[in-house]
Structure 1
Amino acid sequence: MECAVYDTYVQKKDGKIMHFDVVVEANTPHEKAIQYGQEWLSTVGQAGQKMTSEECQFCHIQEAPPFVEKSIKQQGYWIQKMEGCPN
């Protein structure tokens, strides 16, 4: 599966920056990727934090590894945690 990767930086409620990628099927609209990112933020206690096309920017297209493809098929997206993300 070809997937689109959106490089995302969101300021957390404590003021620190959380860096993660929102990974979606390649033909998914940017607005939907942002929506998925907002959904994920709510699951990690960061609901309501600013996440727009400014914080979530298209990065590249790549082939999804099997575990990412499985997540995308099940819930529409995969979050690749980078810096400042909860475990």
Structure 2
Amino acid sequence: MKLHVFDTFAYSKTGKILHFDVLLSERNEVKAHQRAIEWLDSIGEQGATIKPRGCTFCHTVADAPQFADEVARNGYAIYKLEGCPA
């Protein structure tokens, strides 16, 4: 399964930076931004903001089996980078 990676920077209400990738099966920046907000809400970061260009297409991976089930189940997966909860 090809996955499209969107490099994302969000800022919590307290100013904390959350850096993560949104992985989708389609290259769609609007959906990536929506999924980023959905995920932020799910981890208790309601009201976090994503700056313009803060969720941009980065690259496509041909095979990422560790994320395939999550993308199939939820429509997206999150790869946590910096500032994200474990």
Name the counterpart of 2:39.
40
* Conserved? CA contact 1:4–1:60, under 8 Å: yes
Listed as ranges, the gaps of 5+ residues in structure 1 are none
Q: Give the Å deviation of 1:52.
A: 5.3
What SS does structure 2 have at the residue aligned with 1:51?
Answer: strand
* Conserved? CA contact 1:34–1:52, under 8 Å: no
Q: Give the Å deviation of 1:67.
A: 2.3
More strand as a share of residues: 2
Runs of 4+ in structure 1 deviating by more than 3 angstroms, as ranges, are none
* Conserved? CA contact 2:27–2:57, under 8 Å: no
* Conserved? CA contact 1:19–1:84, under 8 Å: yes
* Conserved? CA contact 1:24–1:76, under 8 Å: yes
Change (3 A) 1:64 1:14: farther
Listed as ranges, the gaps of 5+ residues in structure 2 are none
2:65 aligned with 1:66, yes or no? yes
* Conserved? CA contact 1:19–1:83, under 8 Å: yes
Task: Quote the sequence identity (%).
Answer: 38
Name the counterpart of 1:55.
54
Alignment root-mean-square deviation, CA: 1.4
Question: Structure 2 length as normaliser, TM-score?
Answer: 0.90
